[in-house]
Amino acid sequence: MIVTFVHVWVKPQYIDAFIIASSENHQKSIKEPGNLRFDLVQDANDASKFVIYEAYESDAAAAAHKETEHYKKWRDTVVDMMAKPRKGEKHIIVAPIDKNLW
């Protein structure tokens, strides 16, 4: 199982629009085959800082996500909203091992 933390810094004037676009991406991403979790969280101390937590069953499922129309729409919609390029950090799930616990 693969997890990616995508750190995104949004220009303050685009926070609401970013949340709308990212929420739409979230709703479609959680329906993808191989998706275990897809969360959008906002920093409690910096409203312009977000993290997208993506968990997939495999590298192939994570790669397939980037080929979906909803991901491409999100990517193209939010690019100019970002204060700096987003940063993805890939991780491997250690626990829980049982995906039924997700």
How many domains, in total, are found in the chain? 1
The span from the CA of 58 to the CA of 60, in Å, is: 5
Under DSSP, the state recorded for 97 is: -
Please state the pTM of the whole predicted model. 0.89
From the first residue on, what is the mean pLDDT of each consecutive set of 10 residues in the chain (102 residues)? 95 98 98 95 98 95 96 97 96 75 56
pLDDT of residue 99: 62
Task: Identify the pLDDT of residue 28.
Answer: 98
Count the residues in the chain. Answer: 102
**CATH number of the domain within which 11 lies:** 3.30.70.100
Instruction: Kindly report the number of other CB atoms within 10 A of residue 23's CB atom.
Output: 11
What range does the domain containing 32 cover?
Answer: 2-101
